[in-house]
Amino acid sequence: MVNKLWSDEQPKESGFYWCKGADGKGVVAQIKRGGVALFAGVVAPGPLKWSVKAIRFPSLYEANKVEKTLKELTIAVTDFLVGLDAAMKEPESAARGAKIATLSNKLNFANDSVMHFALDMPFDSMNALVKKRERLRQRTSASSGDNNAAVESFLQP
């Protein structure tokens, strides 16, 4: 069986990799251009094992961006649930329906913001998801209460 996680050869691409010394203890190593390896710790002498894939360290900017958008999504979900609860206590009317639609649009916008800004999903992919979501809604509203077929077709790639 071939071990696909570790290699005896030093990686050629620059980046951060796990490296294990002859004693089996691992450290992070940075491979710079030209094959220079900088180790973040002591490596036992002898043959080295290298991780096949580079380690991805998100930048502080990326981490803050994800945290910010997730907080915004949490606030949007909470606002939606509070608003929906209040709207459902009102008598059935066109105004109540409009409030629920407005709440849904705000939640949908927050979800789209997270998909684009935190998950780096391109707008084309987001548009495809929106179209798929709309097809599911149409099938669900047209069905006679059995949503299994609509849900299964939505989950198909």
pLDDT at 57: 66
Nearest-angstrom CA–CA distance, 130 and 122? 13
Up-side HSE of residue 68: CA atoms within 13 Å toward CB? 9
Instruction: Confirm whether 152 is domain-assigned.
Output: no
Same domain, 64 and 135: yes
40 and 70 part of one domain: no
Q: Confidence class of residue 86 from pLDDT cuts 50, 70 and 90?
A: very high
Residues 131 and 101 both lie in one domain: yes
Q: Higher-confidence residue: 82 or 16?
A: 82
For residues 66 and 138, state if they share a domain.
Answer: yes
Q: Are 17 and 31 in contact (CB under 8 A)?
A: yes
137 and 108 in contact (C-beta within 8 Å)?
A: no
Judgement on whether residues 47 and 92 belong to the same structural domain of the protein? no
Which range, of 6-10, 40-44, 54-58, averages the lowest pLDDT? 54-58
- Please say if the pLDDT value at position 1 is more than 50: no
Residue 29 burial by CB count (10 A; 0-12/13-18/19+): exposed, middle or buried?
A: buried
**pLDDT of res. 68:** 83
**Domain presence at residue 112:** yes
**155 found inside a domain:** no
Question: Which region among 2-6, 10-14, 123-127, 141-145 has the lowest average model confidence (pLDDT)?
Answer: 141-145
Q: Are residues 65 and 139 in the same domain?
A: yes
Answer whether 27's CB lies under 8 Å from 43's CB.
yes
Domain encompassing residue 107: 60-143
Residue 83 and residue 37 share a domain: no
Rounded CA gap, 153 and 157, in Å?
A: 9
Band the pLDDT of 59: cuts 50, 70, 90: low
pLDDT band for position 91 (cuts 50, 70, 90):
very high
The one-letter code for the residue type at 157 is P
**Single pTM value for the model:** 0.46
Q: Does 138 share its domain with 78? A: yes
Do 77 and 139 fall into the same domain?
yes
Q: Does residue 43 sit in the same domain as residue 66?
A: no
